[in-house]
Amino acid sequence: KNEVEQSPQNLTAQEGEFITINCSYSVGISALHWLQQHPGGGIVSLFMLSSGKKKHGRLIATINIQEKHSSLHITASHPRDSAVYICAVRSGNQFYFGTGTSLTVIP
């Protein structure tokens, strides 16, 4: 059983669509991270959340601690958003990663 589950695993969207990626976790956490991995392999840290909501450009991340759930939203999606989005949680000194959501945005 994975401590972190993401859905969907794969997502294809038309340019301009609003996108939501979900993350559920089963452990107590001190922080949740959203990461972006581009086809070349590089990983970029997008957000770190411990409560509430954060926004950066067209990206919005929310977390509900009681429900152990987080969402990553992309507004006005663009082909350059095509990447794998990874949810990760920190629980004590342990880190647990989701298997990622592969997003393809078609022009």
Partner 1 sequence: NAGVTQTPKFRVLKTGQSMTLLCAQDMNHEYMYWYRQDPGMGLRLIHYSVGEGTTAKGEVPDGYNVSRLKKQNFLLGLESAAPSQTSVYFCASRRPEGGYTFGSGTRLTVV
Residues found near partner 1 in the complex (CB under 8 A): 2, 4, 31, 33, 35, 40-45, 48, 86, 88, 93-95, 97-100
d(CA 102, CA 29): 24
Closer to partner 1 by CB, 71 or 91: give it. Answer: 91
Compute the least distance from the CB of residue 15 to partner 1, in Å.
27
Compute the least distance from the CB of residue 92 to partner 1, in Å.
12
In the chain, the largest separation of any two C-alpha atoms, in whole Å, equals: 42
Compute the least distance from the CB of residue 57 to partner 1, in Å.
16
Which residue matches tokens 């950066």?
Answer: 56
Q: How far is CA 31 from the centre of its chain?
A: 13
